[in-house]
């Protein structure tokens, strides 16, 4: 997967939602998918940042993207349903989702995680991707071969001291992915859901949580794009319910 070489038309005519598109990894996913023919839906909280990515995609001559801003910390069930409704009304289809949006804390002893920390992390990192998947399920079921990718995290896969609430929120994603896979297997076998754990990447969040690290030695967001392409494209139709660690 790491060395997967995707044809430039891999995602032609596909519509793909990318949450957290203004982050460094989300930005890379948006540009990479658009470069391979997809119409990407850019989600984030900051409209100015999303517009900059929109302009970058258009300037490169890729398919015209769409923007759907939504603050996961504040959104209610109606807001999540509205996101799915907007996709249906504007684009008429949805072939995939990359759940990349996340929030984190500076690592600390779990006894210092207060209630607000827990609620915010669970809401953004676990509840939002679960509810969005549910809201978009009719569109995904209607697609000929849809793919959903949850972006996991190594500390959520392997319990690690000082990552308490954040690790728990990310660990929940793996459970949700497995349950969705089991529930959809017989009725909707063409819809696949997987979790991808990128591992250490030179990103803003990594620099925040590991300030003493030599970040220049880490993979760049562009380095992990082959696996994101593989899991979204036709060559991974047989890959379901997997937690993939890079």
pLDDT tens-digit readout, 125-139: 999 999 999 999 999
- pLDDT of 186 above 80: yes
pLDDT (mean) for 91-97: 97
Q: Which of 28-37, 143-152, 198-207, 234-243 has the lowest mean pLDDT?
A: 198-207
pLDDT (mean) for 89-107: 95
Longest dimension (CA), the chain: 51
User: Among 62, 166, 228, 230, which one carries the catalytic annotation?
Assistant: 166
pTM: 0.95
Identify the CATH class of 15-245.
Answer: alpha beta
- pLDDT of 202 above 80: no
| pLDDT score recorded for residue 106 | 87
**Which residues touch 213 (CB under 8 Å, ≥6 apart)?**
206, 207
Percent of the chain at pLDDT above 70? 96
User: To 10 degrees, what angle do helices 128-142 and 164-184 make?
Assistant: 20
Write the CA distances from 10 to 31, 41, 42, 44, integer angstroms.
14, 17, 19, 25
| pLDDT score recorded for residue 228 | 98
- pLDDT of 209 above 70: no
Residue 33 among the catalytic residues:
no
| pLDDT score recorded for residue 244 | 96
pLDDT band at 49 (very low <50, low <70, confident <90, very high): very high
What sign does the dihedral 233-17-130-88 (CA atoms) show?
negative
| pLDDT score recorded for residue 200 | 76
């Amino acid at each position: 997967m790491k060395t997967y070489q995707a044809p430039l038309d891999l995602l032609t005519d596909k519509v793909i939602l990318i949450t957290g598109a203004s982050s460094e990894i989300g930005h890379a996913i948006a540009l990479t998918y658009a470069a391979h023919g997809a119409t990407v839906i850019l989600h984030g909280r900051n409209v100015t940042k999303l517009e900059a990515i929109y302009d970058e995609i258009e300037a490169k001559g890729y398919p015209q993207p769409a923007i759907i801003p939504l603050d996961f910390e504040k959104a209610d069930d109606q807001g999540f349903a509205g996101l799915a409704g907007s996709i249906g009304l504007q684009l008429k289809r949805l072939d995939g989702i990359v759940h990349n949006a996340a929030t984190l804390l500076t690592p600390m002893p779990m006894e210092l995680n207060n209630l607000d920390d827990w609620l915010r992390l669970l809401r953004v990192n676990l509840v939002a991707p679960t509810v969005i998947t549910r809201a978009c399920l009719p569109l995904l079921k209607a697609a000929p071969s849809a793919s959903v990718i949850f972006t996991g995290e190594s500390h959520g896969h392997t319990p690690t001291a000082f990552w308490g609430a954040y690790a728990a929120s990310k660990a929940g994603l793996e459970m949700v992915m497995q349950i969705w896979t089991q529930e959809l297997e017989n009725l909707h076998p063409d819809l696949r859901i997987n979790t991808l754990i990128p591992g250490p990447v030179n990103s803003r969040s990594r620099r925040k949580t590991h300030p003493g690290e030599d970040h220049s030695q880490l993979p760049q967001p562009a380095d992990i794009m082959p696996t994101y392409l593989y899991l979204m494209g036709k060559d991974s139709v047989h890959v379901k319910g997997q937690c993939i660690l890079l």
